[in-house]
Amino acid sequence: MNTESTLFSNVNIIDGSGDAPFAGHVLVVGNRIEKVVSSPDDLEEQAGTIIDGQGKTLMPGLCDAHLHLTWNDQPTLEHITLMPPEEHLIHSINVAKTVLDAGFTSGVGAAAARPRFDCILRNAINAGDIVGPRYLANGQEICTAGGLGDTSPVHVDIQDLSFGWRVCGPEEMRKAVRMFVKFGVDLIKLNLSGEEITPVPAQTTPMSNEEVAMAMQEARPYGIRACAHARSADSVKQCLNHGVQIIYHASYADTECMDRLEAEKDRFFVGPGLAWLIQTSQGAADWGIAPDSELAQVYARELEYAVEGMQEMRKRGIRIVPGGDYGFAWTPHGTNAKDLEYFVDLIGMSPMEAIVSATSLGGQIMGMPDELGLLKEGYLADLLLVDGDPSADITVLQDTSKLEVIMKDGALYKNAL
Ligand SMILES: [Zn+2]
């Protein structure tokens, strides 16, 4: 008997590849999937722990490709950094647990609200000091003066009031990226376009090509990838031109963007972040953004563009990944699986395609395509046992009571059976 092994017997397997579900048995040894078989044979003797799946669904853990563990459920951007650092850190630790409880066993940090927060959270998760998803740590959003991220009311050298890191010119960009590299980031984040709730609207592209080029030049020697806030067509083109592989939003991507994304579909990912658009236009009345307000209407129009664009990208085979910018008052952490419902209802994906976007593509965007995101022999054992069939009803993944077992890295984080 191997005490560090777990057998999931009698499960309906969704392997994350998009193939149809099939009945089987899965043996996990250490932190990897050792065997996926149709007949259990002598596996029970090899397993330390046996979980009788009773025909429920076993599938790879989910990946949120646009995760902000340090967004603290505030009603405005300015409020994010008004929470004192001590409370903010505790809040972020709790968010990491909330995300894992929601079945997301991995996530791409899409920017931190303070310089080192993401790095220390990732390190603490990896050390087992706190619980949370596998996490790619980011720096702060690097932004232009007055753009999204620069929430300081005055232009001084003290950056504490901003959740983004403000730069003016390539040399300040060089300094910013080197600072985040020193802190140990896996990614950098560039705010290339504006955002409607800021003085710089979504279709504006304020960061210069010189600044973007400098950021990539400084990140590249370390193998550090970049992601970008890119709503405007020009900002998407900056991503394509400079090799920013993770493109968030892309609401106003034009035909040229589509053609180029399609031609390089193995290189780029698009994360639309639909939850933010949907909830800000329709679900934020309690926080002063009534659906008939001008701001909500602007977001509703952007949502229409984004949905149409994502439908087109899906047809072209461009990799679309979930992650809805959760962590504002009206987009609370833990509701991350709503994105998959949006993918089905708005973009036209089948439930299975939505599952692939959160599992197989998750492994790819995490930079671990050969060992994460599939339920396959040799892959890391990040698994969910779901009471229900997400390939028939994708919304079942939003009900944490249905996520009966959550395994991360071969360890049973949750076993409610
Ligand atoms: Zn974001």
- Judge whether 72 lies within some domain: yes
What tens digit of pLDDT does each residue of 51-109 get?
999 999 999 999 999 999 999 999 888 889 889 999 999 999 999 999 999 999 999 99
- Judge whether 290 lies within some domain: yes
The Å distance, Cα 67 to ligand 1 centre, comes to: 7
Domain holding 92: CATH number? 3.20.20.140
Reply yes or no on whether the pLDDT at 388 is more than 90: yes
Using CB atoms within 10 A of its CB, is residue 292 exposed (0-12), middle (13-18) or buried (19+)? exposed
- Same-domain pairing of 206 and 246: yes
Reply yes or no on whether the pLDDT at 326 is more than 50: yes
Reply yes or no on whether the pLDDT at 160 is more than 70: no
Beta carbons of 177 and 168 less than 8 angstroms apart: no
Instruction: State residue 78's pLDDT score.
Output: 85
Reply yes or no on whether the pLDDT at 44 is more than 90: no
Where residue 156 falls among pLDDT bands split at 50, 70, 90?
low
- Same-domain pairing of 167 and 26: no
- Judge whether 326 lies within some domain: yes
The Å distance, Cα 249 to ligand 1 centre, comes to: 9
The Å distance, Cα 275 to ligand 1 centre, comes to: 11
Reply yes or no on whether the pLDDT at 146 is more than 70: yes
User: Which is nearest to 306 in space by CA: 247, 225, 239?
Assistant: 247
User: Which is nearest to 186 in space by CA: 108, 98, 100?
Assistant: 108
Where residue 159 falls among pLDDT bands split at 50, 70, 90?
low
The Å distance, Cα 375 to ligand 1 centre, comes to: 29
Instruction: State residue 1's pLDDT score.
Output: 47
The Å distance, Cα 379 to ligand 1 centre, comes to: 29
- Same-domain pairing of 138 and 29: no
- Judge whether 353 lies within some domain: no
Q: Is the pTM of this model over 0.85?
A: yes
The Å distance, Cα 276 to ligand 1 centre, comes to: 9
**Last residue in a domain, options 283, 312, 336:** 336
- Same-domain pairing of 197 and 270: yes
The Å distance, Cα 383 to ligand 1 centre, comes to: 26
- Same-domain pairing of 285 and 400: no
The Å distance, Cα 174 to ligand 1 centre, comes to: 22
User: Which is nearest to 414 in space by CA: 382, 391, 390?
Assistant: 382
The Å distance, Cα 405 to ligand 1 centre, comes to: 29
The Å distance, Cα 325 to ligand 1 centre, comes to: 4
The Å distance, Cα 68 to ligand 1 centre, comes to: 7
- Judge whether 142 lies within some domain: yes
The Å distance, Cα 298 to ligand 1 centre, comes to: 18
- Judge whether 393 lies within some domain: yes
The Å distance, Cα 416 to ligand 1 centre, comes to: 32
What tens digit of pLDDT does each residue of 7-24 get?
999 999 999 999 999 999
The Å distance, Cα 272 to ligand 1 centre, comes to: 10
The Å distance, Cα 184 to ligand 1 centre, comes to: 20
Three-state secondary structure call for residue 32: strand
CA distances 11 to 26, 54, 100, 105, 415, Å, are 8, 6, 22, 20, 15
- Same-domain pairing of 27 and 80: no
User: Which is nearest to 362 in space by CA: 16, 63, 61?
Assistant: 63
- Same-domain pairing of 233 and 89: yes
Phi and psi angles of residue 225, each rounded to the nearest 5 degrees, phi first:
-85, 170
- Same-domain pairing of 285 and 308: yes
The Å distance, Cα 315 to ligand 1 centre, comes to: 25
The Å distance, Cα 189 to ligand 1 centre, comes to: 10
- Same-domain pairing of 135 and 24: no
Instruction: State residue 47's pLDDT score.
Output: 87
The Å distance, Cα 23 to ligand 1 centre, comes to: 38
The Å distance, Cα 58 to ligand 1 centre, comes to: 30
Domain holding 397: CATH number? 2.30.40.10
- Same-domain pairing of 76 and 16: no
**Last residue in a domain, options 316, 336, 356:** 336
The Å distance, Cα 53 to ligand 1 centre, comes to: 36
The Å distance, Cα 162 to ligand 1 centre, comes to: 15
Where residue 152 falls among pLDDT bands split at 50, 70, 90?
confident
The Å distance, Cα 386 to ligand 1 centre, comes to: 28
- Same-domain pairing of 55 and 70: no
The Å distance, Cα 349 to ligand 1 centre, comes to: 23
The Å distance, Cα 187 to ligand 1 centre, comes to: 13
The Å distance, Cα 217 to ligand 1 centre, comes to: 23
Q: Please tell me the distance from the alpha carbon of residue 310 to that of residue 292, in angstroms, as a whole number.
A: 25
- Judge whether 362 lies within some domain: no
The Å distance, Cα 248 to ligand 1 centre, comes to: 8
**Tokens 């060089």, residue located:** 174
What tens digit of pLDDT does each residue of 289-300 get?
999 999 999 999
Across the chain, mean pLDDT equals: 95
Q: Please tell me the distance from the alpha carbon of residue 140 to that of residue 391, in angstroms, as a whole number.
A: 36
- Judge whether 80 lies within some domain: yes
**Last residue in a domain, options 336, 360, 381:** 336
Q: Residue range 342-349: average pLDDT? A: 98
Range of the domain at 141: 62-336
The Å distance, Cα 111 to ligand 1 centre, comes to: 7
- Same-domain pairing of 98 and 44: no
The Å distance, Cα 196 to ligand 1 centre, comes to: 13
Number of domains in the chain: 2
